[in-house]
């Protein structure tokens, strides 16, 4: 099993991966509280970016509404916890199917009726926005006034109820990101993965070769949505409060997809690298502006936006394809 | 008198909808020709709204009077944006263009935040509370003027595309990109002109919308979404479709606000969008291509 996983991976790449993983494993020992929250954010975006990448990077379906799946996961687990005292891991078992169903709903509507490209992207935004306004008026989850989880005591870490110190969330997210990485690689190496790439490159050609494009696009949406719901559950139990205006907002969807686009769409490292680059950039800007004594709301976002434009202008395929050519871990194919 | 109430709300919705339609027309023209989805559309509109706010605050200039100058400024903005930045991206994949325009939108929104602050702003014109009465029908003066303005601007744009040589050339680019290159059209310049025209449209719409709604730096994305909904409902790339879609959405939102909850009104427009995508993906006025 392990032998199959590492098959065909250059040794340099394995060493690099091992070093990154080791660094991330010991990071909480050295990181202060602030750095730890930044690392948690990075892992959150690395994980959700990886999930989004399955749809866009592998199967070529541009979703701009992944906040929908985060929000459904978060609200399902949180509502079950608040109303019925059901723990997050059982909540997860409910949340994942719900998000996957929402994904299947969008996928079914779009792929059956040949809604593709830009139209598909806008359909995903529309459904997420529909959910945002809908949850604003859903009294079971307290509507727009927000759903609050009872705040935890940090005396001991309760992994089963996800109540405890941020370090626990860090390791949970690290495990999830690592699993997502391995899972995505396995998917890419599988029959389904090759079908996805064929659909992404030329859907007509894929269909003419006998690939059931509807079926495989549905598989991509369902897997991506289900995976994203897990991030939502963690979001709910980490932040302990949920507002439809925040969770389902389109800017949440945009944040999720910036990482993989900047890192490199369709690559396995892109989402992870993109999360580090973007979150790192945002935090660097925050401290740089603070050090320069500039305290203007909006200034950070302007610089952030300019950096985004520069990256996309200079590296159209993202940072990872460029970097992997430099450090050459993909040589000796 | 519930019947008169419904009628008044409906007419108000239709008039506001014409302005929405003009806003969406800009998006439709840009997509129809340049094939780029302008994710910074709402932010571009807020630029025009803030210019109008600033001119009114400083010189007491009526937004309706400043309509043409502001549209001209926005035209220049759109032209430069397309010529300088977006033309580089026209052959890149959709997600790359998306990132570019999201970045532009982010910069616009936050520059406006820095310059004008986070508070909602509006203009108080002398005729803000005037209305015309026709039997049981009471029409707000601001909405009526704005709707007339929207029809005039849209009519001007329509005539430009229909009757001028440049307009015909732009339509040629939209219909057949390679063919336009072959006959020697300067496609990049025409794209820049088109983006400028789209920006002018949304600028004009924003200037007049200021008579009806407040503006904040963060309001851009919701107008971008509204423009998407309208354009897809009416038919992407169809000019009359954008106006009809705008009226339909304006009417729907007004009636939903009256019959249900005003804060839930956008749910109804999204529901319409989903229905249109399912049963008539090319939109009400769109032509079936695939």
Average pLDDT over residues A262-266: 89
Q: Tell me if B160 sits within 8 A of B25, measured CB to CB.
A: no
Residues A92-141 have pLDDT tens digits of: 999 999 999 999 999 998 888 777 788 888 889 888 988 998 898 888 88
Instruction: Look at A313 and B88 and tell me if their CB atoms are within 8 Å.
Output: yes
How many alpha carbons fall within 13 Å on the CB side of residue A84? Answer: 10
Mean pLDDT of A151-162: 70
What residues of chain B lie within 8 A of the CB of A115, using their CB? 277-278, 281
Compute and round to an integer the Cα radius of gyration of chain B: 19
Q: How many residues does chain A have?
A: 333
Partner-chain residue, chosen from A114, A258, A297, that has the shortest CB–CB distance to B290: A114
Whether B290 and chain A come into contact, CB under 8 Å, resolves to yes
In chain B, where the domains are located? 12-118+142-279
- Give the pLDDT mean for B81-101: 88
What pLDDT does residue A332 have? 40
Residue B228 touches partner A, C-beta closer than 8 Å: yes
pLDDT band at B290 (very low <50, low <70, confident <90, very high): very low
pLDDT digits (tens, 9 = 90+) for B24-74: 999 999 988 888 889 999 999 999 999 999 999 999 888 888 899 999 999
In chain B, residues with a C-beta closer than 8 Å to the C-beta of A301 are 106-107, 109-110, 113
Distance from CA of A332 to the nearest CA of B (A): 29
Q: Give B221's contacts in chain A (Cβ within 8 Å).
A: 250-251
Put simply, the chain A residues between 137 and 156 with a CB less than 8 A from any chain B CB are 137, 144
pLDDT at A319 over 60: yes
Per-residue pLDDT, A330: 54
Residue A235 banded pLDDT, cuts 50, 70, 90:
very high
Q: What is the distance in angstroms between the Cα of A222 and the nearest Cα belonging to chain B?
A: 20
> Across all residues in chain B, what is the average pLDDT?
88
Sole residue written with tokens 């997210």: A173
pLDDT at A331: 44
Predicted model pTM = 0.88
Where do we find the tokens 């790192």?
A: A280
For domain B12-118+142-279, give the fold: ABC transporter involved in vitamin B12 uptake, BtuC (1.10.3470)
A-B CB pairs within 8 A amount to 127
- Residues of chain B above pLDDT 70, percent: 98
- Across the interface, whether the CB atoms of B277 and A127 are under 8 A apart is answered no
Q: Is the pLDDT of residue B96 over 90?
A: no
Asked if the C-beta of B95 comes within 8 angstroms of chain A's C-beta atoms, the answer is: yes
**In sequence order, what are the residues at sequence separation of 6 or more whose Cβ sits closer than 8 angstroms to the Cβ of residue A244?**
A71, A131, A132, A133, A134, A135, A136, A143, A144
Tell me if chain A has a CB within 8 Å of the CB of B83. Answer: no
- The dihedral over CA atoms of A314, A317, A319, A324, expressed in degrees to the nearest 10, equals -120
CA B59 – CA B34 distance, rounded (Å): 37
pLDDT at A329 over 80: no
Nearest to B99 among A109, A118, A261 (CB): A261
Average pLDDT over residues B177-183: 87
Least confident of A81-90, B25-34, B231-240: B231-240
| pLDDT for A333 | 36
**Which residue carries 């930045």 as its tokens?**
B85
pLDDT of residue A80: 92
Q: Higher model confidence: residue A95 or residue B266?
A: A95
Contact status of B268 with chain A (Cβ, < 8 Å): no
Instruction: Answer yes or no: do B270 and A126 touch at CB < 8 A.
Output: yes
Which residue of chain B is at minimal alpha-carbon distance from A57? B95
Mean pLDDT check: name the lowest of A290-299, B222-231, B247-256: A290-299
The pLDDT score that the predictor gives to residue A301 is: 86
Give the rounded percent of residues in chain A with a pLDDT score beyond 90. 38
Taking CB atoms and an 8 Å limit, are A306 and B107 in contact across chains? yes
pLDDT over 70 (residue B1) = no
**Residue A3 predicted with pLDDT over 80:** no
Query: Which pLDDT band, with edges at 50, 70 and 90, does A2 fall under?
Result: low
Considering only the C-alpha atoms of chain A, give the largest distance between any 2 of them, rounded to a whole number of Å.
Answer: 62
Cβ neighbour number for residue A29 with a 10 Å cutoff: 7
Of A101-105, A218-222, A287-291, the least confident: A287-291
Question: Which of the residues A59, A66, A305, A319 would you substitute to probe the B interface, choosing the one with the greatest number of B C-beta atoms within 10 Å?
Answer: A305
Query: Rounded to an integer, what is the distance from CA B214 to the centroid of its chain?
Result: 16
Split at pLDDT 50, 70, 90, the class of B267 is confident
């Amino acid at each position: 099993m392990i032998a199959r996983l590492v098959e065909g991976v250059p040794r340099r790449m394995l060493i690099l991966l091992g070093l990154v993983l080791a660094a991330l494993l010991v990071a909480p020992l050295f990181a202060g509280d602030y750095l730890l929250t930044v690392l948690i954010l990075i892992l959150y975006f690395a994980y959700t970016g990886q999930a989004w990448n399955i749809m866009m990077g592998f199967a070529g379906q541009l979703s701009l509404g992944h906040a929908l799946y985060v929000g459904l996961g978060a609200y399902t687990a949180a509502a079950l916890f608040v109303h019925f005292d059901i723990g997050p891991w059982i909540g997860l078992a409910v949340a994942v199917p719900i998000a996957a169903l929402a994904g299947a709903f969008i996928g079914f509507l779009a792929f059956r009726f040949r809604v593709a490209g830009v139209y598909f992207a806008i359909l995903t935004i529309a459904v997420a926005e529909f959910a945002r306004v809908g949850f604003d008026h859903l009294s079971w989850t307290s509507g727009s006034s927000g759903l609050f989880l009872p705040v935890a005591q940090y005396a001991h870490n309760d992994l089963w109820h996800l109540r405890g110190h941020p370090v626990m969330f860090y390791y949970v997210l690290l495990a999830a990101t690592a699993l997502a990485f391995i899972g995505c690689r396995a998917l890419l190496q599988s029959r389904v993965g090759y079908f996805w790439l064929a659909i992404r490159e030329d859907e007509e050609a894929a269909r003419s070769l006998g690939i059931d494009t509807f079926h495989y696009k549905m598989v991509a949406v369902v897997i991506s949505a289900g995976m994203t719901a897990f991030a939502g559950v963690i979001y709910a139990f980490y932040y302990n409060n949920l507002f439809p205006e925040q969770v389902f907002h389109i800017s949440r969807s945009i944040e999720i997809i910036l990482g993989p686009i900047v890192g490199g769409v369709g690559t396995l490292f892109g989402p992870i690298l993109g999360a580090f680059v973007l979150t790192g950039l945002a935090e660097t800007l925050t401290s740089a502006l603070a050090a320069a004594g500039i305290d203007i709301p909006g200034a950070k976002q302007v610089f952030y936006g300019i950096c985004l434009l520069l990256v996309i202008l200079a590296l159209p395929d993202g940072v990872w394809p460029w970097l992997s050519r430099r450090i050459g871990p993909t040589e000796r194919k | 008198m519930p019947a008169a109430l419904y009628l008044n709300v409906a007419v108000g919705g239709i008039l506001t909808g014409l302005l929405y339609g003009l806003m969406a027309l800009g998006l439709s023209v840009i997509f129809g020709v340049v094939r780029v989805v302008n994710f910074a559309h709402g932010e571009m509109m807020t630029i025009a709204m803030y210019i109008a706010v600033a001119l009114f605050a400083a010189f007491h200039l009526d937004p309706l009077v400043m309509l043409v100058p502001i549209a001209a400024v926005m035209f220049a903005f759109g032209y430069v944006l397309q010529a300088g930045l977006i033309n580089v991206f026209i052959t890149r994949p959709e997600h790359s263009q998306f990132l570019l325009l999201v970045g532009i939108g982010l910069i616009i929104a936050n520059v406006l935040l820095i310059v004008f602050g986070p508070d909602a702003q509006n203009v108080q014109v002398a005729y803000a509370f005037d209305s015309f009465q026709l039997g049981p029908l009471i029409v707000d003066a601001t909405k009526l003027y704005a709707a007339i303005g929207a029809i005039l601007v849209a009519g001007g744009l329509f005539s430009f595309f229909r009757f001028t040589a440049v307009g015909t050339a732009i339509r040629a680019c939209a219909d057949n990109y390679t063919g336009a290159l072959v006959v020697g059209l300067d496609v990049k310049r025409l794209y820049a002109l088109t983006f400028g025209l789209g920006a002018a449209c949304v600028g004009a719409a924003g200037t007049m919308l200021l008579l009806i709604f407040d503006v904040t730096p963060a309001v851009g994305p919701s107008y971008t979404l509204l423009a998407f909904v309208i354009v897809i409902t009416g038919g992407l790339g169809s000019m009359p479709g954008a106006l009809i879609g705008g009226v339909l959405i304006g009417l729907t939102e007004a009636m939903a606000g009256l019959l249900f909850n005003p804060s839930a009104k956008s749910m109804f427009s999204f529901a319409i969008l989903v229905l249109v995508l399912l049963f008539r993906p090319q939109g009400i006025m769109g032509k079936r291509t695939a």
